[in-house]
Each structure stands twice: as C-alpha cells, then as structure tokens.
Amino acid sequence: MNAATKRIRVWDLPTRIFHWTLAVLVAFSFATGKAGGSWMDWHLKSGYAILTLLAFRVAWGLVGGETSRFAHFVRGPRAFLSFAGSLGRKAHRATTGHNPMGGWMVVFLLVILAAQAATGLFSDDEISTTGPLAEKVSNAVVAKMSSFHYYNGWTIAAAVALHVIAVAFYQIALKIDLVRPMVFGWREAPASDGETAMGSTVLAAILLAVAAGAVYWLVVVFPKG
C-alpha cells in the first residue's frame, strides 16, 4: 500500500455471505443430484436453502448495499459493449462493484438458479423422490418441469464455469484480484475512487428470516393444505 491508494469497501457482509453460501450450496446440489439415492433428501434441502438465498438476494438488490443493487450493476448494451472493448487494453482498471458484463452474469445466474429451484419443486424422479409441489399439478407439467430441471442443471454448470473463468482471467491476465474483495469486502483502490454505501446487516438478517419463512410455508405448510 502506498500513498496513492487506499482501502475502499466493495461488498457488504450480507452479499459476501450470500455469495459463498450460494457457491457451496450450488456445488452440493449438483453433486447430490447426480449421486441420487439417499442423497436426494439433502438435494431437496439444499434446494430450499438456495431458494431462500435467491429470494433474499432479489430483495437485497433493491434495498441492500449500493454495489449489490440492481440499479447499480444492470447496465445498458452501450455500457456492456464499451466495457467489453476495454478488456483487451492495458489501461483496464478495476471498478467498485460489478462491471457491466459481470452485472449481466449475476442476473443470468440468478434467473437460471431461480428457474432450477422452482422447477425442482414440481419435479419427480419416478423412483422415490418427489418435489413438494408435484402433487399440485398435472403429470404432464411434472414431466416438463423434471426435464427442464435436468437440462438446466448443465446450463448452470456451464454458467458457473464461465463465471470462474472470467474471474481467473482477471486474476491472471489483468492482474486484478476479484476474489479477496469478495472474501474480505474491500480492495486496494486509487485514492481518487469514491466510497459506496454498505447495506445494513440487521436489515439483511430480517430479510433472510422472512425469505426462509416464505420458503418454509411453500415447501412444508402449503403442500399439506
């Protein structure tokens, strides 16, 4: 660290916890889904936890820390293209928060994970594992949901791989460390870079509790009714 740089906060604690918990649960869901058998019980529980996290993240995208808000990182096509063009240049600098390409990756991941969690609720492997809402819809719908759930799992695997490759590209080719800020919350930035507002951890805990309650109702209470 020298005089021209300072530590600035990038990601608030809720966003970081969300990110790493989601990463672990997605890997766990993929592995248990492929393993099958008695692992399917854990596969369902992991799915409910992911659904909870996603519901939290959508709310956090509206009321969370500045860099976590959709309004901060969902950018138009012009910003996307001009950013893509700048990647090859030497002068490429890290920004605080998601860049215009990474922002869309976040949206894409949230959408395909939400679709995965939602279709899982209506899926049936026709061996012994049935999603909690499969009884509520016709078997034609269950077949479509199960099929989508299977193929979308591979879409997620590909998207996660692309996400990791992009981070590795930053790390190796651009020499910009994106991993440490996502772990510790701050990065070393030029003194001229501005600070952004972090979200309230208490508010995050309340939102997470509400999301967990809603998912519990959806997968436990509602199916019995």
Partner 1 sequence: MKKSAIAALVVATVALPALSQQMKAENQVKYRRAAYQLMNLNFGSLDAMAENKKPFNKDEAARNAEFVALLATVPKGFFGEGTDKDTRAKPEIWKNRPDFDAKMDKMVSEAQKLPAVVRAGDMGAFKKQVHDVNEACKACHDEYRAKQQ
Determine the Cα–Cα distance for residues 33 and 55; give it in Å rounded to an integer: 22
- Alpha helices, H only, 7-138: 13-35, 40-63, 70-73, 77-86, 100-121
Other CB atoms within 10 A of residue 89 CB? 9
HSE at residue 194, side-chain half, CA atoms within 13 A, is: 4
CB of 225 to partner 1, least distance (A): 17
Q: Which of residues 165-224 bind partner 1 (CB under 8 A)?
A: none
Question: Nearest approach, Cβ of 134 to partner 1 (angstroms)?
Answer: 11
> Nearest distance from residue 131's CB to partner 1, in Å?
13
With CB under 8 A as the contact rule, the residue among 144, 159, 200, 203 that binds partner 1 is: 144
The verdict on 139 binding partner 1 (CB under 8 A) reads no
Q: Does 36 bind partner 1 (CB under 8 A)?
A: yes
Q: Which is nearer to partner 1, 126 or 195 (CB)?
A: 126
Report the DSSP pairing between strands 5-9 and 186-190.
antiparallel
Place of tokens 């936890």: 49
Q: Which of 71, 127, 172, 202 forms a contact with partner 1 (CB under 8 A)? A: 127
Structure tokens at 217: 């109702």
Q: Does residue 130 belong to the site contacting partner 1 (CB under 8 A)?
A: yes
- Interface with partner 1 (CB under 8 A): 36-38, 40-41, 125-130, 143-144, 146-147, 150-151
